[in-house]
Amino acid sequence: MKHRGTSVSEGIAIGKVYKYIPFDPEINEKFISSSEVDENLKLYKETQEAAEAELLDIMDKMAETDPENAKIFQAHIDIIYDAAMEEEIIHGIKSSLHSPEYAMKVVYTQYIELLSKTDNELIRERVTDMKDVYSRLIRNWFGEEDRNLSLLTEPVIVLAYDIFPSDTAVMKRENVLAIITEIGGYTSHSAIIARNYKIPAILGIPDAMETFKDEEFVIVDAIKGDVYVKPTEDQIEQYNSERKAFIVKQQEVEQFISVEPITSDGVRIDVNINIGSSEDEEFVIEEFTDGVGLFRTEFLYMSRPRLPTEEEQFEAYKKVVEVYGDRPVIIRTLDIGGDKQLDYLELPKEDNPFLGLRALRLSFDMMPTFKTQLRACLRASAFGELWIMFPMVGSLGDIRFAKKIVEEVKADLTLEGIDFDPNIKIGIMIEIPSIALMADVAASEVDFASIGTNDLCQYLTAVDRLNPTVAEYYQSFHPAMFRLIGNVIRAFQAQGKMVSVCGEMGGDPLAATMLIGLGMRKLSMNASSVPAIKRLITQINIHKAERMARTVLELSSADQVENFLKSELPDV
C-alpha cells in the first residue's frame, strides 16, 4: 500500500516509524478560589523557570555545534517572559481566578491569533515559535518529561503532525532516516531543515498520523513522494539497491555543480534555475548558474494574507536581479488558478480549474493587480537584467493585449519620471498547444519563450496532472511532446529568438538530452537538478543528441521513447 505526499527533500529511506506525538493535553476552563491565588502565581513562575531551564540547556548543547540557531532559543526565553503576556496571564490568575494553565491557554491563543493576522511574513513566522513556547510551558506545568527528538536511540523514520524548530534543533541527525508529516509543504520550516541536513522528507500526507503505526516498517521514497506500508520482500530489495544507488549518485553528481556546462564537442548549454522567492536560501548555488529561467511569483502572493504591495514586489525582484547582475532573471507574472489558490481573493470555485480563469486570464480579469506587478517588474528592471514572461498564453490576442498593458504601465512610469529598462524583454510561456502550434507567429511578437513542459503535457494529453486515477495517461515522453517542442524550438530559432524550457523535463537528464538534441540551448530547472544536468551536458555530444532526437521523432509510443533513451544513455 502506498501513500502520497510532497517530496521536499530527495532521498530514500527504509526503516521503522517513530511516531512523534508532542505532549498536547486538552486544557479546559478551570477556576481557582481566591485563597489559592498566591500559590498559583508561584506555580506559574516555577513553570516559567522550568521552561527557561530547558531552553538554556538546549542552548548550551547547541553553542558549540550550531551557535547561529541557538539564538532562536533566546527568543523563546524572551517570549516566556514577555511583559504583556506575563501581565495578562497574572491578571487572569489574580482577577479572573483562572487556573494558570487555563490562563496561559487563553493568553497564548489570543496572541497567536493576533500575530497570525499581521501581514508581515517575518512576524507570522514567529507564530511557530509562540506555539512551541506554549507547548513547552504546558508540558512543564504538568511536570511531563521532554520527549524530544534528541532522545532517539536508534535510526528511525520520524512521523509527526508537524515539526517545530525546537524539535529539529535538538534532533540527532544520524538517527533520523527520513521525515514524514501530515502538514507542511516545500517552503515550511521542516522542509528547509530537511534539505539543509539532506534528510529525505515527504510532507503533507493526508491523515498520516492515523495511517501509519508506531514502529511500523515502511519505505520512504522521497524522490517520488511515496511511503509504502507493509512492503513486500521484493520492494525492500528493490529500494535497498535504489537507496544505495541514490547515495552514490548524489555524491558523484555533486562534484559537477561547479563545472562549465559544455558538451564534449564544445557546445555551451545555459543552465538556469527556477526560484520561488527572494529568500537567501534561493541563492545557495547562484554562482554556478547562468540566470533565473523562471521566478515563480505566486509564492509572493501565497505567503501573506493579502496581495503583496508594489513596494514588496519591487524589493523582491530588485534583490534577485541585483544578485544576478548581467545574467537574465525571467519573472513570470502571477500564475494563480488550477492547483494554486489564493484564499483571500475568494475566487469562485470552477468545475475545471485547469481550464478556467487561470494565470494570465486571471491577471486580465484583475487589471489593477496585474498593473501593480508589471510596475514592480519594470521598476526593478532598472537594476539588472529582468525579463517579463506571461503564463498561459493561448493566442496572439493574449500576447498583444498583455504587451499593450506593459506599454501603458511604461507610459505611466515615464510620466512619473521613474526609471526602468525601456528595452525590457517580453516573453511567453509555451504551455497551451494552441500557441505551441502557432509558434512561428508568436515568435514574431515576443522576444523569447520558455516551454512549461508540465502544463504543456497536461493540455496536450488531456490529463489532469493532479488526478491520480489518470496518472498513467500523463506521458511526458509521448512522442507528440517531442514533435511539438521540436517545432517550437525551430520556429523561435528561425527568427533568432531565445527559447528555453523550465518545466520538469529541463531537470530530467533523459528528457534534457532530447531537448538538446532538438536544438534547445537553454534549460531551467530546480536547484537540486543542476549537478545532474551539468554532469549530463559534459558527457554528451551534440551530434549524438541530434541523432537520438531524430530517432525519437520516428517512434510511436512513450514507452518506446523512454526505453530507447535509457538504452542510449545507460549512465544517467
Partner 1 sequence: MYSREVEVKNKTGLHARPASDFVGLAGTFDSNITIRDVNGDDDPINAKSIILLLTMGFGKGTVVEIAAEGEDEKQAVDKLVALVESKFGED
At 519 the three-state DSSP class reads: coil
Question: Smallest gap, in angstroms, from Cβ of residue 86 to partner 1?
Answer: 9
Query: Is 3 a known active-site residue?
Result: no
Question: Smallest gap, in angstroms, from Cβ of residue 322 to partner 1?
Answer: 17
Q: Which is nearer to partner 1, 305 or 325 (CB)?
A: 305
Q: Which is nearer to partner 1, 318 or 358 (CB)?
A: 318
Separation CA 228–CA 3 (nearest Å) = 6
Catalytic residue chosen out of the listed positions 3, 91, 189, 457: 189
Question: Smallest gap, in angstroms, from Cβ of residue 117 to partner 1?
Answer: 9
Q: Which is nearer to partner 1, 71 or 547 (CB)?
A: 71
Instruction: Identify whether the C-beta of residue 374 lies closer than 8 Å to the C-beta of residue 333.
Output: yes
Q: Which is nearer to partner 1, 120 or 264 (CB)?
A: 120
> At a CB cut-off of 8 Å and minimum separation 6, what does 567 contact?
none
Separation CA 485–CA 487 (nearest Å) = 5
Q: Which is nearer to partner 1, 41 or 115 (CB)?
A: 115
H or E element that contains 87: helix 83-94
Question: Smallest gap, in angstroms, from Cβ of residue 97 to partner 1?
Answer: 23
Give, in order, the Cα–Cα distances in Å from 521 to each of 258, 260, 261, 347, 512: 18, 14, 11, 39, 10
CA atoms in the 13 A half-sphere facing the CB of 343: 4
Crossing angle of helices 509-517 and 530-539, rounded to 10°: 50
245: how many CB neighbours lie within 10 A of its CB?
11
Separation CA 317–CA 223 (nearest Å) = 31
Cell of 5: 505526499
Question: Smallest gap, in angstroms, from Cβ of residue 81 to partner 1?
Answer: 8
At 555 the three-state DSSP class reads: coil
Q: Which of 513, 521, 527 is nearest to 564 (CA)?
A: 513
Q: Which is nearer to partner 1, 95 or 414 (CB)?
A: 95
Q: Which of 163, 166, 194, 164 is nearest to 13 (CA)?
A: 194
Q: Which is nearer to partner 1, 123 or 418 (CB)?
A: 123
Instruction: Identify whether the C-beta of residue 392 lies closer than 8 Å to the C-beta of residue 334.
Output: no
**Interface ranges with partner 1 (CB under 8 A):** 75, 78-79, 82-85, 87, 111, 114-115, 118, 120, 122-123, 126, 130
What type of residue is 298? E
**Based on C-alpha coordinates, what's the Rg of the chain?**
27
Give, in order, the Cα–Cα distances in Å from 405 to each of 222, 390, 401, 412, 421: 43, 12, 6, 11, 16
Q: Which is nearer to partner 1, 128 or 395 (CB)?
A: 128
Query: Is 457 a known active-site residue?
Result: no
Separation CA 96–CA 85 (nearest Å) = 15
Question: Smallest gap, in angstroms, from Cβ of residue 83 to partner 1?
Answer: 3
Question: Smallest gap, in angstroms, from Cβ of residue 427 to partner 1?
Answer: 35
At 420 the three-state DSSP class reads: coil
Q: Residues with catalytic annotation?
A: 189, 502
